[in-house]
Amino acid sequence: MITVDVELGDRSYPVLVGRGARHRLAEVAPHGVARAAVVTEAAIAVPVDAGVPQETFFIDGGEEGKRMETVEDLCRRWARFGLTRADVVVAVGGGVVTDTAGFAAAVYHRGVAVVHVPTTLLAQVDAAIGGKTGVNLPEGKNLVGAFWQPSAVLCDTEALETLPPREYRSGLGEVAKCHFLDPRGDLADLPLDEKVARCVAIKAEVVASDEREGGRRAILNYGHTLAHALETAGRYDLRHGEAVGIGLCYAARLAHRLGRVDDDRVKEHDRVVAGYGLPTTLPPGQDFEELLVLMARDKKALRGYTFALDGPHGVEVVRDVARTDVAATLLEVAA
């Protein structure tokens, strides 16, 4: 079992990575909790035992479940259950579950403890770590949310063994992102537990330096500006990690257009993303104008277009990118 600590002072917490990590739930739950509200999807067959009386609350699967109506429904059911601030919410599932249950825990009684048990690679290396919770609006992804750090995260790699190949590959989009945030280089050859732990450690270090995304933390959204636009558009058959793969290749070309990286770095992005079996170009049928509008709504944007972009000092937040450059680079990644 590998333990990675997210260092946030009195809000610090451990992330346990390895086979069977979920069986440590009773050990890491906040001391003295009386009950547990387990939030999951019906299709997720990963049982957990909090060591206290518990009740399971199911939410809709997929992005359809990640909305304000789900948060209200959870809070109302918790109220009928009698959940108090002396209890704990346990989120068991992928990023939709951890994002949604975490947000509901943040606002119910103005904050109830939450432990995440991520069951997808995507959630283990990214979504469940760092305390960013939230849901979507029709106008964009993750536009409503809160920072609410978990009490612990249990990344049970045993749960990944039954993932459908495409779901597992989607998680590799976030692993590919970590390749470009980690000065130690490629993650591809690491054993699974070490790969997950390395990604967690990368995110933990960034979160510890900028918990509430005042600046540096936005680099964790590398590749996500276009990815979120593709997901919000809804016309493309793309999983999150697949969209991130395209977004990474797009961001590399945009950085090249702005003189931040050379041709070799662009080729490295294509090689790494393709090496994980992810797409590197836009799917057919794209609406460039729609994507331009959606990218302008990205939550990093304060004015104009804002991107996390690679450069001589690594990935950095770059603001006020010209619309002409954003649009021209879309043409470069068109299939």
Catalogue the active-site residues. Answer: 110, 132, 174, 203, 213, 217, 221, 224, 228, 240
Instruction: Give dist(CA 130, CA 313) in Å, integer.
Output: 24
Class of residue 153 by CB neighbours under 10 A (exposed 0-12, middle 13-18, buried 19+): buried
Angstrom distances, CA of residue 296 to CA of 69, 107, 241, 307: 26, 28, 21, 10
Compute how many other C-beta atoms are within 10 angstroms of the C-beta atom of residue 290: 14
- Residues 6+ positions from 324 with CB-CB distance below 8 Å: none
Angle at CA 111, nearest 5°, toward 11 and 70?
A: 125
CB 54 within 8 A of CB 70: no
Instruction: Give dist(CA 218, CA 332) in Å, integer.
Output: 24
